[in-house]
Chain A
Amino acid sequence: MSIDALKRPLASVPRLAVPRLVSLALRELRGGVRGFYVFIACVALGVMVITSVGALSDALRNALSQQGREILGGDVRLSRVHREATPQERAWMDRQGEVAAFATMRSMGRRPDGSAQMLVEIKAVGPAYPRAGAVDLSTGVALQTALKEGVAVDPLLLEQLKLKVGDELQVGRSKLKIAATITRETDKVADRLTYGPRVIMSLPDLRGTGLVQPGSIIRWRYALSLADGAGEAAAGLKAFRAQLKAALPEAGFIIRDRLNPSPMVTQTVERVAQFLSLIGLTALLVGGVGVANAVSSYIDRRRKIIGTMKSLGATSAMIFKIHLLQTMAIAGIGVVLGLLVGYVVPFTLVGALGTVLPIKLVFAPSWGTVLLAAAYGFLVALVFTLWPLGRAELVRGSVLFRDQVADDRTRPRARVMLMTALAALALMALAIAASDSKWIAAYFCIGLGITFLVFIGLGEAVTQVARRLPRPRMPEAALAIGNLGAPGGLTRAVVLSLGAGLSLLVAVALADASLLKAINNEVPERAPDYYVLDINKGQVAAFETLVAKETPGTVVRTAPMLRGRLVRLAGRPTDQVKVDPGAQWVLRGDRGLSFADAVPEGSKVVEGAWWPKGYAGPPLVSFERDLAKQLGLKLGDTVTVNVLGRDVTAKIASLRELKWESLAINFVMLFSPNTLSGAPYNVLATVRLPQGTTLKREAALSRALSQTFPAVTAIRVKDAINAFNSVFERIMVAVRLAGGVTLLAGAIVLAGALAAAQHRRVHQSVIIKVLGATRRRILTAHGLEYGLLATVTASLAVLLGSLVAWVVVTQVMDLDFVFSWLAVAQALGFSLGLILLFGALGTWRTLQAKPVPYLRSE
C-alpha cells in the first residue's frame, strides 16, 4: 500500500487536484439542497428576468432580420420626403430589379357630412405593391382589386368615425368608398411611429385628393426586389448601396435593407432590453443578500464538519475551495432554472399575444443571451458567497471540543476580501460592457453600490442603536428591541433586502408623479389647443382670417416647415461621424426644418447671436444647444442638410435652449430666411383658443377649417396628450413591473431570513411562554419588532428614492420635482404589509409551537 504522500516534507502543503476537489464538493451535496431554496430562487429569479428580456429582444431581432423582406416589401427600400423619384431615378431603380412604389403621409379622415374627423396614416400604393409580404383584407379579396373600388382601412377608423364598409370616407377633397378593412399589413413595422389608423389607397386616388402639393410632407417609398438574387446575400445589399451612391449621388434617398429593416425599432428594442437587463441585475443583486444569508447559515450549520475536516488535515484553502465549488454548483442550479424559465416565459407570453404583434417572433436560444444571463448569475453568486466562505476557512478545529458562538463580525482574510472586490468589479465591467450606454450603466452600477452601502450601514446602525438603548420597562418592547440588536438577527438582512427594492420603487413613483404633473398640469396653461399641418403658404392669410372669424381672440402662430436630412456635420459626412447614442435619432431620417426672422417663442439664444432682420449674407443656422453638443458641433461649424434634393450648407451662428414641454413650435435647426425661403414649403400653425371656448364652438371651427382647407391636418393637442399619457402609462406600468421584480427578490430574501431565524424565535417564545408570557404579549413583541424594522427601512428608502428621483427629474429631465405623499404612503404600506405578512406567518407558527419538544431537544 503506498501512502508516500504522507511522507513528503512539511513545507509542501498539499494542493488537491481539481477532480478530487470536485468529487469532495459533490459528495458533500448528497444531503440535497435543503437550506438552499432561497439561494436558488434568488439566483433563478434574476437570471430569469435577464434571460427573458434577452430572449424577447433576440426573438424580435431574429424576426426583423428573417422577415426583413416582408417587412420592407422587398430586399431594399428607398425613401425620400417631399419629392417623388424622377423618371431617371425610377429608370435606374427599374434596372436593379422589380420595384413597388408607394407613398405615405398623414392627413385627416372625415365623415362625408363633416361631423367627425381623425388623423389618419395614408399609404398610397402603385400597382406592383406589395412585392414581398402581404396585406390581407377582411373581404378576402386581393388588395389591388379592392383599391380599384375604393380604400382599405384599419377597423379602428370605422369604429371612431362610426362608419362601415361600403360607406364613404373623405380624404382631402375626395370622397372614397371604404372597400374593406385591413386584417394584416406586414410592412407596417418598418414605418415610423404611426399616430392614426391606416388608410390604404391607390396612388391615383391620392393625387385626386389634392393633398400632393409642393412642400407637402409625403414620404415616397420604393421597395426593390433586386435582380438575380442580389438581395440574398449581405454582400449584394452592400454592393447595391455603393451602386446607388455612385449612380444617384445627390438623390438623398434613405436606404433600408432586409437585414435591418427598421433600425429605429432595432435600437429601441436594444435600449429597452438593456434597461430591463439592468433592472434584472438589480433583482439579482437584491437576491444576492439571500444568497449571502443562505451561505452564512450553511457555513454555521457545518462548523463541526469543517472542524472535523481540519482535524483530518484539510488546509484552509481546501476548505475554501470545496465550499466555493459547492456554492457555485448550487448557483448553477439557480442559473439553469432561471435560463429555462427565462425562455419559457416570453414564449408563453408571445403565444398569448401572438396575433397582436405585427410580426412573428422567432425564438431561438442564443449563446449571447444564455452566456450573459449565466455570467450575471454566477458573478452575483460569487460576490455574495466569497465573504461568508472566507469565514468558513477561518473555522478552527477546536469547535469540535468547545462550542463557540459563531461570530458574524469576523472578517475574512485579505485574499478573500480582494477576491470579493474583484468579483464585484468584474460584475460592473460586464454590466457596462453589455450596455450601449456605458455611462448610464456605470452610473447605474455606482448608484446600486451606494444604495447597498447605505442599507448595509443602516442595518448596522439599527443593530448597534438597539443594543445600546436602555431596556424599556414594557417587556414586549424590551423583547422587540432585544431582537433587533441580537447577534445574527434579522435586522441587517431585512433592511438590505427590502431597502434597495423599495428605494427603486419610490424613485420610480416620484419620477412618475413629477412627469405626470409636468404633462397634465403645467403644459396646458401655455400650450396651444391645435397644431395645424400642411397649410399652403399662399393660404396662410385666409386661414388666419377664417380662424379669427369663427373664434375671435384666437392666437395663431405660424412657421414655415420643410423636411430635410443632415448629410454633413462640420464638413464630415454624417455616416463617418461618431455621435453620442442619445443624438443618433437626429441623423437617422429627415427632420423638420424652418427659417425665421426672429427668435421664436419657447426658444432662447444662449451662445452666439441671432441674425439681423433682412439678413442677406451666407446661409446661417441656429442649432439646439444640447443636440449640438451631442453631435460635437460648436459655433462657427457648418452643417449641410439635403432639402428637396439640394445640399444646403449653413454656418452655426447661434445655439438655442428650447423648452420642448411648452409645446410651442420648435425646431432643432432654424435657418436664416434667405437660406430656404425660395424652396416650396408648407406652413405649420399653432392655434390657441381664447379661454372658455365651448366644445360646440371648437367643433364649428374644426368643420369650417376642413371645408375650406380640406388638405390641412388639424391635431387636437388634448387628444395628443391623452394618447401620449396612455403610452406613458403603459411604459410606467412596465417600469413598475420591473421594479416589482426587485421587490419580489427582496420578499424572497425576507422570507428566507425569517425562515432561517424561525427555530431560534420559536425557542425564544417557548422559553418566555414557560416564564408566563401570554400569546398576546408574544404577538405584541413581534408586531413591534417588525413594525420598527419596516418603518426604519421604508423611511430611508423614501429618502434615498426621493433623492434619486430628484436628480433624475431636475438634472436629467430638466423638470420641476413634485413630492407625492401617495407614492411615499404606498412604499411604506408595501413595506409594512410585506414584513407583517411574512412575520405574521412565522409568528403564527411560533404561537402554535408546543414547548415540550423544544425543551427536550435541549
Chain B
Amino acid sequence: MSQPLIALRDVSLTLTSRAGPVDILHDVSLDIPAGRSMAIVGPSGSGKTSLLMIMAGLERATSGRVEVAGEDFSTLSEDALAVVRGRKLGIVFQSFHLVPTMTALENVALPLEFAGADDAFGRARQLLHDVGLGPRLDHFPAQLSGGEQQRVALARAMAPRPQLLLADEPTGNLDGTTGEAIVDLLFGLQQRQDATLVLVTHDTALAARCDETIQMRDGRIETTATLETA
C-alpha cells in the first residue's frame, strides 16, 4: 500500500450545544491511500458527515491527529486550513452551494481566484466544457437544473486540481438518471486527475463503485470493506 493521503489517528469530536456536550466521533483511526476512492456509509447521526468535515478541515477534532495531503491539520490556523482547501481539496455538497449571484463560470473560477491564479477563467471555462456545460457558462445557478448545478459544483471542486475530492451525498438532491450521470462524471474526473475520492452516501450502488467502504455507527467505524473482498 502506498503512503496514505489521509491519516486519522484516534480522532474524537465532541460538540457543545445548549443542552450540553454531545459526542459525535469516538477514537476513529483511518488511512486512505492516494488515488483510492472510499465511501462512508451508515445511518443518520452516525457521524459520517462529521468525519468528512474533519477531513475537509471544516471541523476541528477535539482530540486525535488528522493528517491530510501531508498537512497536520491540528497545527494549522483557520486561514491556513482555508488555503489548504483552496489548493489541495475539492468539496462537493448535497445542496450544491453555488453562489447564487455568480454565473457558472464565475462559480468555477472562484477557488482559483482565491488562490490568486492568473488564468482562473480560462481553466474554469475548460472544466465547464469538460462537464458538458460549455453552452451554459454565463447562466446563473437559478437558471440551471439540479443536475447542471451539481456539474458546476463538480467542475468547481476539480478546478484547483485537488489531490483529494470530498463529496457529501453528491446525488442526494438529484433524480436517479441525473444522479447516475453525475456519479459517472465524478469518478471520471477523479480518475483523470488521479485524485483521492471520499464520499458520504446512503446509496449502496454508489458506495459499491468505490474501492473501499466504511460503515459507521454511533461515531465509530463499524466495518471496513474493500472492493476486492466485498
A: residues with CB less than 8 A from B are 1-8, 10, 13-16, 20, 24, 27-31, 304-305, 307-318, 396-398, 400-402
Contacts and interface: CB of A to CB of B under 8 A. Distances in A.
A14 B83 contact: yes
Interface residues of B, number: 46
Contacts, number: 130
A370 B84 CA distance: 46
Given A27-B101, A318-B114, A311 B85 contact: yes
Interface string B165-208: 00010000000000000000000000000000000000000000
B114 A16 contact: yes
B219 interface: no
B113 A20 contact: yes
A398 B81 CA distance: 13
Contacts of A309: 99, 110, 114
B10 interface: no
Interface in B73-106: 76, 78-80, 82-87, 91, 93, 95, 97-102, 106
Nearest to A311: B91
Given A305-B99, A312-B156, A10 B79 contact: no
Nearest to A12: B83
Nearest to A3: B117
Interface stretch (B1-9, B31-39, B119-127, B143-151): B119-127
B23 interface: no
A7 B49 CA distance: 28
Contacts of A28: 99, 101-102
B161 interface: yes
Contact of A13 (B52, B79, B156): B79
A24 B116 CA distance: 13
A14 B115 contact: yes
B117 A5 contact: yes
Contact of B79 (A6, A24, A29, A317): A317
Contacts of B79: 13, 315-317
A609 B100 CA distance: 83
Nearest to B85: A313
B87 A311 contact: no
A858 B93 CA distance: 21
A395 to B, nearest CB: 11
A3 B123 contact: yes
A314 B86 contact: yes
Interchain residue pairs A-B with the least CB separation, the first 6? A313-B86, A397-B58, A14-B116, A312-B111, A315-B79, A308-B97
Contacts of B99: 28, 305, 308-309
B93 to A, nearest CB: 6
Contacts of B102: 27-28, 30
Contact of B115 (A5, A30, A31, A307): A5
Contacts of B101: 27-31
Contact of B82 (A5, A24, A305, A314): A314
B57 to A, nearest CB: 8
Contacts of A312: 85-86, 91, 110-111, 114, 156
Nearest to B86: A313
Contacts of B114: 14, 16, 309, 312-315, 318
B77 to A, nearest CB: 9
A308 B149 CA distance: 14
Contact of A10 (B58, B71, B122): B71
A317 B80 CA distance: 12
Interface in B21-66: 49-50, 52-53, 56-59
Given A5-B115, A309-B110, A397-B58, 6 more contacts: A309-B114, A313-B87, A313-B160, A314-B82, A316-B78, A396-B78
Contacts of A6: 86-87, 112, 115, 117, 160-161
Nearest to B78: A316
Interface centre among B52, B97, B122 (most CB of A within 10 A): B97
Nearest to B59: A398
B118 interface: yes
Contacts of B122: 1
Contacts of B168: 401
A311 B126 CA distance: 22
Contacts of B85: 310-313, 397
26 contacts: A1-B119, A3-B119, A6-B86, A7-B87, A10-B76, A10-B84, A13-B80, A13-B83, A14-B116, A20-B113, A24-B113, A28-B102, A31-B101, A307-B97, A308-B97, A309-B99, A309-B114, A310-B82, A311-B56, A312-B111, A316-B79, A316-B82, A397-B57, A397-B58, A397-B85, A398-B59
A338 B203 CA distance: 57
A312 B117 CA distance: 13
Nearest to A316: B79
A1 B160 CA distance: 11
B59 A2 contact: no
A314 B112 CA distance: 10
A318 B57 CA distance: 18
A3 B118 CA distance: 7
Contacts of B83: 10, 13-14, 313, 315
A398 B97 contact: no
A747 B73 CA distance: 49
A401 B87 contact: no
B99 to A, nearest CB: 6
Contact of A2 (B50, B80, B119, B156): B119
Interface centre among B49, B82, B100 (most CB of A within 10 A): B82
A32 to B, nearest CB: 9
A7 B161 CA distance: 11
A7 B117 CA distance: 10
Contacts of A8: 87
A675 to B, nearest CB: 80
A576 B76 CA distance: 66
B58 A313 contact: no
Contact of A396 (B58, B98, B117): B58
A12 to B, nearest CB: 9
Contacts of B97: 304-305, 307-308, 311, 400
Contacts of B52: 401
A308 B100 CA distance: 11
Contacts of A313: 82-83, 85-87, 111, 114-115, 160
A394 to B, nearest CB: 9
Contacts of B110: 24, 309, 312
A401 B112 CA distance: 23
B84 A31 contact: no
B53 A398 contact: yes
A325 to B, nearest CB: 14
Contacts of B161: 3, 6
Nearest to B24: A402
Contacts of A4: 117
